[in-house]
Structure 1
Amino acid sequence: MFSNKRVTLIVTGSIAVYKSAILVRELIKNDNQVRVIMTKAAAKFVTPLTFQTLSKQQVIIDEFQDYDVDKVLHIDIADHTDVTIVAPATASIIGKMANGIGDDAASTVLLANHAPLFVVPTMNSNMLANPANQRNLAQLQADGVNIMSPATGFLAEGYNGKGRMPEPTDILEWVNGVLLPEQILKGKHIIVTAGGTREAIDPVRYITNHSSGKMGFAIAQAAANAGAEVSLIAANTSIPVPNGVDFIPVVTAKELEAAVMKRFTSADGLVMSAAVADFRPAVVADHKIKKTKDNDNLTISMVKNPDIVKQVGAIKQPQQFVVGFAAETNDLLANATKKIQSKNLDLIVANDVANSQIGFNSDQNQVTFMWPDGQTKKTVVESKAKVADELIQIIAKL
């Protein structure tokens, strides 16, 4: 269990606040320093004195209450925090976080927060299912916030439903699992490709696809978290580079091929999640192609790009693995099965990019993991980070 951390616990207005007092006690028992910030609604359920007694720290309720005169309260707290936990997290604080609203001590601290952030949604099941609340939770996940699934059971309203605050020990185990992930790939060198390649037509125009690179970046981060040395080869992305990876930017399929082949022989495996253009113009014009009154039609001769994952599959050694991706708009499983067989893959990840909710540029995904022996496993619709974590667990077994 993690210890010696400066933990900021944000407590918001819910009948479950009593569990937060137990959470403070457990954090203290594991040698953590805990600072509690309460909303005024939370203080209606349990007094600040309870948390002050347990934490041995001043409890913050009002951003204008007495504090060190030479410090800005919410900035100082955020700057001296290693872990931030919001438990219970009401729909109100979730909405404020998702939309960047800071109008009290809790929300301003959260706006200034730059420590790992863990949110435990706690509310009535109808409120939890409200589309606006679900959108806010999805936005927080897309922003990299860790969201714990609420427990199901007897609610304060007198009936069973999903929305209960999990037990404090379960919350701590969840936080610990994220902060101290098992190093299941320690000592391994993994290559991950991401993004969509571009093939020039002339100095101005190019052929490409809608890939954002989000899935590949999530895989690279999950692999790094699992202890791997990660080479992330990415084509034409604009999202932040994951922490702890060796980043190699490329543009074209040929550049991607060269970067992969240069590194694969000394690597333990490849995850080929980049969306590589199948064809490129046979000739690239050295000047912008102009339209004239005589050229209502334009014909571009195309040639095949290298099949990088097939090349790697052909040379991989028994101790190496290769994972491919099948982004399809129809006949998903049939097309993915053909690829896993023809390209000598150890695993293929198939996803339906025709579905805008889980396709290119989406923060969510739903994939089917497929093995050469015909075994399959389909995920639920979930964040790309969670899909990446599941993939890393599978790779560790490969």
Structure 2
Amino acid sequence: MSHRTASTAKGMLGAVMGLILIGVIAVGGVIGYRQFVADDGEGSDSSAPVSSVSDRPYPTGPAAPNAAPTVPPPPSSAPPSTSASPSPTAAETGPGSGTRVPELQAAAEQATAGKPQASLVALNIHTGEIVATVNDTGMSGVIAPGSTFKIVSSALLLKKGVVTPDTKVPCPKTAVAGQAFHNVDNFEIPDATFRQDFARSCNTAFVELRSKIGDSELATFSTDYFGLNSNAWQVGEGGTTDGTVPAAADDADKAAQMIGQGSLKMNPMTMASVVATAVTGQFHQPVLVRGGETYKNTKPLPKNVVSGIKDMMRACATSGTAASTFRGMPGVGAKTGTAEVGNGTNGWMVAYRGDIAVAVVVIGGESGSGSAGPIVRSFLSAVPA
């Protein structure tokens, strides 16, 4: 091959290679441009998969300025939520807040509906906070509590060691102390234990035990352990009346006080407090508004007194005068009372279930179990055992 021919061939080959190189550069430029545009988020190929934040296990970079803020998870030390309902705020439970519980207030109003002569007060046995009230008499009345006050006279007898729940204390038809005292329908239990006397509400057994205490001993005991006679309770809402247990004026008055009659002046608030003190061993002044000063000058009841009262109140609710009221309802302790007032009577019942103590009086009620009992049962149906 001649030098001229070889040069011509080399020239043609160079031209072809040049054209190929130009084509490669051009194609590469287009691909690079398309990739650049897609990464910038504009004009991407509609056939390409679109990535989203929800597809990723966690964000790989800061959120866009207009993105909705995310809520960080709680720290690992935070306790898990136990309820879907909101917790009470500090304003709802702090100083100045009210103590009524809406669900229990509604239960109290339903239980007393159509009964204008009924008054009800319920409170927390551990704090004294009043959770429900119906009718002003419940907090400001001054009336005899009837046999519901046997809780206090029993506590005194237990503390002094005069009796235990199992002590034999006969229940005669009649007892005389300046006047004759009888039981309802003149019943008697000749071989009764003190537990049976309490559960069946035997007046004569308590009257016979009056000689075991001094004329002013019940009054002093009521003040020292139950906060009564203090005239210092600052409960609020239009004024309330503290319970009054004066020294007995004579033997007949002392006998009457043992069974909740005579010169005693109480109301459902004070009797609900009596129940709370008896079953916890410590007085807590009833309150309607948190944060105020409360009366605290009391002593704790001995453990044997607390266990004895609870035992006897359970007996009243299961085999005594309140048995028909609470049949089929577990966890209740109770005491009935029928107070004689002039020519009529008032029906009383006090009880506790779970953390709640309740007292009800029905003015003109013929008996505690018959008139106050259905109200107490209805209310306690809303209280967990």
Superposition TM-score tier, normalisation by shorter sequence: under 0.3
Larger Rg: 2
Q: TM-score, normalised by structure 1?
A: 0.23
Structure of greater relative contact order (alpha carbons < 8 Å, 6+ residues apart): 2
